A and B are shown apart, each in its own frame.
Chain A
Amino acid sequence: MRSRLSTLFDALLPVLATLAALAVGAVMLLFLKVNPIEAYAALLNGAFGSFNSFAETLVKATPLLLVALGICISFRGDVINIGGEGQMIVGAILATWVGLTFTDYPGWLITTVALLAGFLGGAVWGGIPGILKAYFNVNEILSTVMMNAIAVQLMNFLLRGPMIDPAQADVASKIPQTARLLDIFQLPRLAPTRLHMGALIAVGLAVLVYILLWRTTLGYRIRAVGQNPHASRYAGIKVPRYMVMALLLSGAFAGLAGAIQVYGVNYRMITDGSASGFTGSAGFNGIVAALFGQLHPIWSIPASILFGALLVGANSMQRIVQVPSALITVLNGLVVVFVVSSEIWRRRRQRRRLAAAPEEEPSPKPDQTEVQKKEEAQP
């Protein structure tokens, strides 16, 4: 009974953490002399209030989910992929190039090839830090961030130079964007909204990633290597290979997210010169969505929708109650901090519960741990 309640509490913890974050946000709104109830009503209304706004939420959720799926794979393989932004960009560049180069082929073929190209581009961009980590012991957090910087500069170079929209090339403003894709290459829309096929692809892939992680030997090995590389090596699993696989697949999903942004939303690649100008920070927010979904591909679906809703709803909140846009970023950050902290707290609670069971382990226990355990065991 006690344990079941406890499990339920653990499952609801992210939701409670979100509510707590919104409560802190409410205090800030009060300081800005804004009625928080009014503000949150605007947020909710903006995200879910109408068919159109809900569709918009899903549009924002799609790249988050795709990145999150990749994060589920890499984090379960114990490789930290902070390179989602760069992987999205490289995926998008390759996919856009396919669409702008091969204009004489049927639409379905080019769209498919372009999405695969995006997948592949992301895989390469994720695979490089993967190889560096597995075989040269280069910290993947550093290398993926570096790869982001390279990708941004590559994008800016291409979009201002070789791939620039011919219409922009001649005018003084020179907005960094490519030409528009042919209509036949665009991902079909699902309703008279901006919602597109990409959302369905993402949900379908969530199921596939679930199968990959828990029903295939590849997923088994990625998880085994992530949980305990020593035991995996002892069991004969080639640990470096599966580290690379984890980061490579993670990058691939981010690359696909980039390609789908181009083919489903903008129909061209466009930026303001920064990474988020193209990605909308989905490469980072996807990490949060995945953690929020407990690194489970299926749970990442509602988690991505929640963050999509926050993004869309925050815009409308900003419009209606006139709060500075920085506050929206703060609110987003608060949710992240609370959710991540609650996860750490949950783990510590779990460990304490385990530690409380008296086991006479033969392993070395320095004095400090024993004292610490004692402190934790005390009510």
Chain B
Amino acid sequence: MTESTKLPSGQTRINSLEMRNITKRFPGVLASDHVNFDVKSGEVHALLGENGAGKSTLMKILYGLYHPDEGEILLDGKPVTISSPTDSINLGIGMIHQHFMLVPTLTVAENVALGLPSSRGALTDLDRVSKRIIELANIYGLKIDPDAYVWQLSVGQQQRVEIIKALYRGAALLILDEPTAVLTPQEVDELFVIMRQMVKDGHALIFISHKLHEVVEICHRVTVLRNGRMIGTRPTSETTKQALANWMVGREVGFAPDRGTTTLGEVRLSLADVKCGSDRGTPGLRGVSFDVRSGEILGIAGVSGNGQRELAESITGLRKVTSGKVYLEGQDITNLPPGEITERMLSYIPEERMRDGMIKDFSIAENMVLREHHKQPYSRYGFLNLRGIATHADELIAKFRVKTPSRETMAKNLSGGNIQKVVLAREISRNPRVILAAQPTRGLDIGATEYVREQLIEQRNQGAAVMLVSEDLDEILALSDRIAVIYEGQVMDIVQRENATPEKLGLLMAGVHPEDAAPVVK
């Protein structure tokens, strides 16, 4: 692997890429502070850090989306200037974005050819593109049909199309931005096989991830960033998950919060064969039944888009239930207006917190009373009690450790983690009987994630019934007492946490019943 300078794809190998002393300033923020980073042919180098640590900034500089204020980029020892993504593609750098850049209504070949000049001038050359795709697919073991439409492909297959696209454009170095975030455990394994093959063939890979166990598993070296500064680079063989987490956050962190003890109480939330539509007009839920009891967390595991959103919305009254019943503390709340369901002390931490959980141009204090503004002590006879609202906001800001200049700060000026704390504070402070939490830690950094999880456990221990929807299996396993796996609008199975393994859940998430799986536990 040292002699040949060509990759199997025919592309010249990038032996080394070095970013030296990269500094990038934004008004008031030092996003990247003299960071050094390098990656060699034949290795996976992980870039690890919390939100806002500067990972994205660094990679956007490498991909030509930002320009560094200081520092230089050396390719095989020679300085290069990258002023646009075109430059970086020409140099052999490819990027797999977290959210795929594919046109669903086009075929794989059409997507790959998109934006490239045709070898036949004004006429398309899709047959040649297809041939090349099959060639590349054979070399790297990527099973893909060039004539398949993208909308027909699973998320994992779409990711392979993205990889092919980058290889087709001659990528020798690939930046993978949180590539596993949307995959099932099985798909992650398949991706890792592909990545190992590419590394063996001499590619250089940069792997951005929050998930420490993946970093330890697949990467050779890891570089940790914190607040725009480089904390250090180490071989992964010399480190552990726990050490990396502490390094990343700068203090000791706990992964699985202490769950404490709880007593299982009465059934608070009950669904009986609930069906509803989805936004696309197809069935969203196809008959879902389960109970959530006081003092327990029911985890809803599943790959995104399998009915999680519809589930939460049909319970909260935001989506019309077409058949079946939803009971809250024994009372039928099916299709009641959302306001009335709220009044019965059901709290909801929505998945899209910026869109559904919060009003960006309202102050924190105003956002804190979004649900309760019409009640005392926040208002009386239709007039707001500003003092009551302010006191409430100050209490919650202190209690939930929201980092903000003041309670009058507009919500849009807070970081993602602090916004989630505001939503959490608002929903939890009402002492709800039932809490629905949808992806409560998605996009949050380790510190905020830890905090949100502790709060959910705390609510459970105080007797709330919690339904936790999450695509993160680690989170589901760390928090849930029971786990329901949802697939295509149906609950595949409900398993006790003690009996759940990532493999078993992964199979269920993919719609496969493990042969040895116990019948549905009620």
**Complex contacts, A104 vs chain B, CB 8 Å:** none
Judging by beta carbons under 8 Å apart, are B361 and A218 in contact? no
Measured CA separation A221–B413 after assembly (Å): 22
Interface residues of B in 381-436 (CB under 8 A from A): 382-384, 386, 412-413, 415-416
Flag the segment in B26-34, B134-142, B293-301 that touches A: B26-34
Out of B53, B54, B338, name the residue touching A233 (CB < 8 Å). Answer: B338
Q: Is the interface of A mostly helix, strand, loop or mixed?
A: helix
**Given A358-B52, A359-B52, A362-B443, do A234 and B356 touch, yes or no (CB 8 Å)?**
yes
**Complex contacts, B374 vs chain A, CB 8 Å:** 217
**Given A234-B338, A236-B339, A359-B415, do A217 and B51 touch, yes or no (CB 8 Å)?**
no
B284 within 8 A of A: no
**Given A227-B361, A227-B362, A371-B65, do A235 and B29 touch, yes or no (CB 8 Å)?**
no
Judging by beta carbons under 8 Å apart, are A353 and B27 in contact? yes
Please give the residue numbers on chain B whose beta carbons come within 8 Å of chain A beta carbons, in ascending order.
Answer: 24, 26-29, 31, 51-57, 60, 65-67, 85, 97, 99, 101, 316, 318, 337-343, 348, 350, 352, 354-362, 366, 370-371, 373-374, 379, 382-384, 386, 412-413, 415-416, 442-443
- Most B C-beta atoms less than 10 A away, residue of A234, A363, A365, A366: A234
Minimum CB–CB distance for A356 against chain B, Å: 5
**Given A224-B370, A363-B354, do A358 and B54 touch, yes or no (CB 8 Å)?**
yes
Interface residues of A in 313-368 (CB under 8 A from B): 353-354, 356-367
**Given A220-B384, A234-B316, do A228 and B360 touch, yes or no (CB 8 Å)?**
yes
Minimum CB–CB distance for A361 against chain B, Å: 7
Total of A-B residue pairs, C-beta within 8 Å:
118
**8 smallest A-B Cβ distances: which pairs?**
A362-B443, A236-B339, A236-B342, A358-B31, A364-B99, A235-B370, A228-B359, A356-B26
9 contacts between A and B (CB under 8 A): A236-B340, A236-B343, A237-B339, A358-B52, A358-B54, A361-B443, A362-B416, A371-B85, A377-B26
The 0/1 profile, CB within 8 Å of B marked 1, for residues 4-29 of chain A is 00000000000000000000000000
A370 within 8 A of B: yes
Out of A214, A217, A227, A359, name the residue touching B359 (CB < 8 Å). Answer: A227
A374 within 8 A of B: yes
A216 within 8 A of B: yes
Minimum CB–CB distance for A296 against chain B, Å: 14
**Given A357-B29, A358-B56, do A234 and B318 touch, yes or no (CB 8 Å)?**
yes
Out of A217, A353, A357, name the residue touching B379 (CB < 8 Å). Answer: A217
**Complex contacts, B354 vs chain A, CB 8 Å:** 363
**Given A216-B384, A217-B373, A357-B29, do A370 and B60 touch, yes or no (CB 8 Å)?**
yes
Measured CA separation A216–B381 after assembly (Å): 9
Minimum CB–CB distance for B160 against chain A, Å: 19
Out of B55, B66, B97, B362, name the residue touching A360 (CB < 8 Å). Answer: B55
A101 within 8 A of B: no
**Given A224-B370, A363-B354, do A374 and B383 touch, yes or no (CB 8 Å)?**
no
Judging by beta carbons under 8 Å apart, are A238 and B337 in contact? yes
Judging by beta carbons under 8 Å apart, are B101 and A367 in contact? yes
**Given A215-B386, A220-B366, A354-B412, do A231 and B29 touch, yes or no (CB 8 Å)?**
no
Judging by beta carbons under 8 Å apart, are B348 and A234 in contact? yes
Q: A236-B337, A362-B442 are known; give 14 further A-B pairs, CB within 8 A.
A: A216-B382, A224-B359, A228-B355, A228-B361, A234-B338, A235-B371, A236-B342, A354-B412, A356-B29, A359-B52, A359-B416, A360-B53, A360-B55, A361-B443
Measured CA separation A349–B53 after assembly (Å): 25
Interface size on A, residues (CB 8 A): 40
Measured CA separation A276–B24 after assembly (Å): 57
Judging by beta carbons under 8 Å apart, are B338 and A359 in contact? no
Measured CA separation A357–B51 after assembly (Å): 13
Minimum CB–CB distance for A294 against chain B, Å: 13
Measured CA separation A214–B340 after assembly (Å): 25
Out of B357, B415, B416, name the residue touching A231 (CB < 8 Å). Answer: B357
Minimum CB–CB distance for B397 against chain A, Å: 19
Measured CA separation A374–B65 after assembly (Å): 6
**Complex contacts, A362 vs chain B, CB 8 Å:** 416, 442-443
Minimum CB–CB distance for B210 against chain A, Å: 10
Closest partner residue, chain B, to A374 (CB atom): B65
Measured CA separation A359–B416 after assembly (Å): 9
**Complex contacts, A238 vs chain B, CB 8 Å:** 337, 339
A378 within 8 A of B: yes
**Complex contacts, A228 vs chain B, CB 8 Å:** 355, 358-361
A189 within 8 A of B: no
Measured CA separation A373–B57 after assembly (Å): 12
Out of A227, A235, A356, name the residue touching B360 (CB < 8 Å). Answer: A227
**Complex contacts, B85 vs chain A, CB 8 Å:** 367, 371
Closest partner residue, chain A, to B26 (CB atom): A356
**Complex contacts, B384 vs chain A, CB 8 Å:** 214-217, 220
- Most A C-beta atoms less than 10 A away, residue of B24, B360, B362: B362
Judging by beta carbons under 8 Å apart, are B443 and A234 in contact? no
Judging by beta carbons under 8 Å apart, are B26 and A231 in contact? no
Judging by beta carbons under 8 Å apart, are B350 and A234 in contact? yes
Minimum CB–CB distance for A277 against chain B, Å: 40
Judging by beta carbons under 8 Å apart, are B56 and A360 in contact? yes
Closest partner residue, chain A, to B99 (CB atom): A364
**Given A359-B52, A370-B65, A378-B67, do A220 and B27 touch, yes or no (CB 8 Å)?**
no
Measured CA separation A29–B379 after assembly (Å): 56
**Complex contacts, A220 vs chain B, CB 8 Å:** 366, 373, 384
Judging by beta carbons under 8 Å apart, are A215 and B383 in contact? yes
